[in-house]
Structure 1
Amino acid sequence: MMRIAFVLLTLAYGGIATAQELRGHGGPVRAAAVSADGAVALTGSFDQSAILWDLARGSAIKVLRFHQGAVNAAVAVNGLGFATGGEDGRIALWRGDAPEPAKVIEGHKGPVAALAISPEGQHLASASWDGTVRVTALADDSARVLEGHQGPVNGVAFAPGGMVVSSGYDASLRLWPADGGAPLIVTTPVPLNGVVTASDGEIAVAAADGGLRLFGPDGAQRAEIAVGETPLIALAISPDGATIAAGGLRGQVALIDRRTRTIRATLVGPGLPVWSLAFLPDGRQLLSGGADRLVRRWNAVTGEHVGAVVPRAGEDALAAFRGERGAEVFRACAACHTLTPADGNRAGPTLHGIFGRRIATAPNYAYSDALKGMDIVWSKESVAKLFEIGPNAYTPGTKMPEQTIGSAEDRQALVDWLEKVTQ
């Protein structure tokens, strides 16, 4: 699978984000989930990170780094926090803003594409490109493995009565009974992506032809709604089941009234394509994540942008340096790196005392083995070189997402400023 590297927590060097945007990810926002109380969201990205967001303040609480590859899926886990699924085939359970997962679930042999939590919160279902669905009991990590899809499984959901529903690239929708019996297999004309279910048992599935297909719990197709002409790749259903949001490859997001089977609003302006959608608990607001690396907040009734969401990672530690070019360039790094010994390490090591320090020697930071064997001492010249040619070329094997600064003037401003503030 082609791996795409992007900048982590990129802020436009010269710009200020508009109010409805959460900026932070360095790659397309692949996954989104919202806590049951609507206070916190978690998003995952192709940049290999997840970010916890305080939705009331519009600020990043914590950058979570664990997966070796894209974070493809996220779900709120009742009373426990969130779960993420990655390209590495692993599932991580996060409690609060702890920097490390509380639990890691393994077993898949391919990327995890989707996650779902059972209504009682005791089982986690995961869909994978290894062709299987796994239903894991969170109490003891025992797993029921559902096999039969002929290719990647792209979607999974729980239906009433404990039934599990899965959708796959093999153009099949499979309804797995809770008692472990053989699944009901529904064949469609085109490959399928995400799937969601309503409390009355109705199933909605996103298709590669741009259509949203609705099925009953008996597998009978009830309706087909044309959303676009390109694949639908993001799907969410409001908690009350009244509205389905469907996002596609060209950036269209349709808000569909499930009762009338009509599109009542279309969101204008999401990044192309739209990879992730998540409703807030009231069902009146929606988060979208797209290829433009932004998380956007919407009124799910009118389709308008909403909320005074201020895109900052907590308090602005760089406010005292407003107007200094080096500080503005550093904003792309501020969520992962601190500047003072009191602030310590984050997703990346502290930069306090970086000049004159040998690579991979900052105290109490878990460096990759590849960096530990390198013979680099950080200087203004070597830091500038890092951002000129990128981490993958200058420090092969690093966990740092790919990032370059194309302007020589910006690179010089950054290292001059770092020399001043990291001593």
Structure 2
Amino acid sequence: MTCISRRPAPLLAGLLAVLPAMLSILPAAAQMRGHGGPVRALALSHDGRLAISGSFDQSAILWGLDTGAALGVLRFHEGAVNAVAGLPDGRFASASEDGRIALWRLGRAEPEQVLDGHSGPVAGLAVSADGAALASASWDGTARVWPLAGGAPRVLEGHRGNVNAVAFLPDGRPVTAGADATVRVWPSEGASLTLATLPTALSALAVTADGEIAAAGADATLRFLRADGTVRAAVELGPQPVIALAPSPDGRRIAAATAGGTVAVVERETARVLLRLVGPGLPVWSVAWRPDGTELVTGGGDRLVRRWDARSGEPIGALAMPRPGNPLAAYHGDRGAEVFGACVACHTLTPGEETRAGPTLAGLFGRRIASLPDYRYSEPLKRMDIVWTPETVARLFEVGPARYTPGTKMPEQTIGSAADREALVRFLEKATRQP
């Protein structure tokens, strides 16, 4: 069932009144630290002074870009915040793996509206050129177009699998890209037009003011598509997949962020890489331009929001490159630790570490499922009668989270090897034991 709910929200006292002064007197910081997990999404206000970031730690943060000050931490979602957007009326939108979209107004501690209708994680958001509609892409296989003035959304069905990205053409038609390797344009009525089927699963999409579509994904190649779906130009940016795209305000350049930790700035006309932004080597999950096109803002696996000179590729301010400490360093050579490496981005092993997308595993064995008081679990998990033991953990990864714990927000994954499951359990018994 689709609904739009409105929630009362108390004002954060005096924030709107003092914001101009805060932006002028606080010291500038080119690297903004505040998230407890990778920065999954970024968007800027229309004047470029404010940014919103979304993270695997389930929060969004509003920033003053010229000062580096965090103006508010927005906590509402029950899962990683995968997408954010700035709206023309000054509001911001955040969307999560919990399937919900929250609309925020500066100075309020709770969402002004909640758009509820997706049955799977929301992976992308886009705002129409006229500011009248917000589009969302979801892993439930659909996209939706929400009228911001109110009313039921238009549901776009046709992709086979996850819809990973969404954008709008200048004439208002939505465009989507998905794991089925297709780019689809949606006319005002009826089924979608499959504009192109590309050689790879797609994770990123951008549309320029003249209507050209840029798409990229697993094969690390950025492709520019004509209106008839043919590829006008392509540029390889590998070896790592492209996971985010952003067109410059003038449409002449495309910023392409990669899982390898770099951002390529590509000249659209020639499909030539003009420069690369090189960070600490961790995935860059999100990228956005400031309105004058001279500066880029990125968010990545180092949990920082960073500012860059888009003309030189140099960081603005001193570029510290701290890599988060490796919690598995003490277990070098342990097969179970190697298997757990796929989980460390979302789960901590010891108490007191920064919040991540999933609950801490400290003291895991003997604990009832969904019982930590400071973590937001889905309602189906709260109703389950499972106690974590070596046997139940092994079973979780034998059949997969979706079957063993229906309603979980955990990404679907299985461990086919019984030996690897046993090694993982032995590792967790050691690493999560509390004094």
TM-score of the alignment, normalized to the shorter chain, above 0.5 = yes
Residue 49 (structure 2) aligns with: 39
2:247 match: 237
Measure the CA separation in 2 of the matches of 1:179 and 1:386: 53
1:117 to 101, 123, 127: 127
Does the CA-based 8 Å contact 1:90-1:108 persist in structure 2? yes
Partner of 1:211: 221
Cα gap change, 1:270 to 1:121, in 2 (>3 Å):
farther
Moved over 4 A (4+): 307-310, 388-395
Please name the residue that 1:279 is paired with.
289
**1:37-64 CA distances to partner (integer Å, 9 max, x unpaired)?**
0110000000000000011211100000
Equivalent position to 2:40, from 3, 19, 30: 30
Whole-angstrom distance in 1 between the partners of 2:31 and 2:200: 34
User: Shift in Å at residue 269 of structure 1?
Assistant: 1.3
Q: Once the 2 structures are TM-superposed, how far is the Cα of residue 179 of structure 1 from its aligned partner?
A: 3.7
What are the Cα deviations for residues 173-192 of structure 1, in whole angstroms up to 9, with x where unaligned?
11112344532341111100
Q: How many Å separate the matches in 2 of 1:248 and 1:117?
A: 23
Question: Which residue is equivalent to 1:364?
Answer: none
Q: Is the 8 A contact 2:285 2:301 kept in 1?
A: yes
1:386-405 counterparts in 2 under 5 A?
387=352, 392=360, 393=362, 396-399=372-375
1:248 and 2:258 are equivalent in the alignment: yes
CA contact (8 A) 2:60 2:81 kept: yes
User: Would you say the 8 A contact 1:52–1:62 is kept in 2?
Assistant: yes
Candidates 21, 25, 28, aligned match of 2:31: 21
Mapped to 2, the partners of 1:400 and 1:136 lie a distance apart of: 26
Give the Å deviation of 1:26: 0.5
1:68 maps to amino acid: E
What residue in structure 2 maps to residue 304 of structure 1?
Answer: 314
Q: Could you report, residue by residue, the CA deviation over 1:139-187 in whole angstroms, capped at 9, with x for unpaired residues?
A: 1132110101111111100002121110101111111123445323411
Letter in 2 for 1:396: L
Q: Which residue of 1 aligns with 2:235?
A: 225
Task: Give deviations 1:229-283, integer Å, cap 9, x for gaps.
Answer: 2210011111111110001111121001112210000001155111000111111
- Contact 2:80 2:96 (8 Å CA) reproduced: yes
Inter-partner Cα distance in structure 2 for 1:89 and 1:152: 13
Pairing partner for 1:135 from 131, 136, 145: 145
In structure 1, the residue matched to 2:211 is: 201
Residue 72 in 1 paired to residue 79 in 2? no
1:309 CA displacement:
11
Match of 1:90 in 2: 100
Cα distance in structure 1, aligned partners of 2:182 and 2:125 = 18
**Gapped runs of 5+ residues in structure 2?**
1-27, 321-349, 364-370, 378-435
SS class of match (1:266): strand
How far is the alpha carbon of 1:308 from its aligned partner?
A: 8.2
Match of 2:305 in 1: 295
Summarize the Cα distance change of 1:218–1:99 in structure 2 as closer, same or farther, 3 Å threshold.
Answer: same
Identity %: 53
Provide the rounded CA distance (Å) in 2 between the counterparts of 1:54 and 1:272.
24
CA drift of 1:81 comes to 1.4
Q: Distance in 1 between matches of 2:42 and 2:236?
A: 24
Amino acid at match of 1:198: T
Q: 1:201 to 1:23 in 2, by over 3 A?
A: same
Aligned-partner Cα distance in 1 for 2:159–2:296: 31
Deviation at 1:389, TM superposition (A): 12
Name the residue aligned to 2:91: 81
CA 182–154 in structure 1, closer or farther in 2 if over 3 Å, else same: closer
- Determine if contact 1:92/1:101 at 8 Å carries over to the other structure: yes
**Deviation for aligned residue 1:217:** 2.2
> 1:19–1:309: 8 Å Cα contact kept in structure 2?
no
Q: Which of 56, 62, 67 matches 2:72?
A: 62
Q: Is the 8 A contact 1:90 1:104 kept in 2?
A: yes
TM superposition shift of 1:207: 1.9
Residues in 1 aligned to 2:169 and 2:34: alpha-carbon distance in whole angstroms: 34
Q: Structure 2 length normalisation: TM-score? A: 0.68
RMSD, matched Cα:
2.4
**Mapped contact 2:299–2:305 kept (Cα < 8 A):** yes
Residue from 147, 154, 172 that aligns with 1:162: 172
Partners of 2:52 and 2:372 in 1: how far apart?
29
Partner of residue 422, structure 2: none
CA–CA distance in structure 2, aligned partners of residues 44 and 280 of structure 1: 17
Cα shift at 1:397:
3.7
Look up the SS of the partner of 2:293 in the other structure. Answer: coil
Deviation at 1:307, TM superposition (A): 4.9
- Contact 1:55-1:309 within 8 A present in 2 as well: no
Q: Does the 8 A contact of 1:271 with 1:290 survive in 2?
A: no
Q: Please, which moves more after superposition, 185-194 or 99-108?
A: 185-194
Which one-letter code corresponds to 1:387 in the other structure?
G
Q: Could you tell me whether the CA contact under 8 Å between 2:126 and 2:134 is conserved in 1?
A: yes
Query: Structure 1 residues 142 and 400 mapped into 2: Cα distance closer, same or farther (>3 Å)?
Result: closer
Which of 273, 277, 280 is residue 263 of structure 1 equivalent to? 273
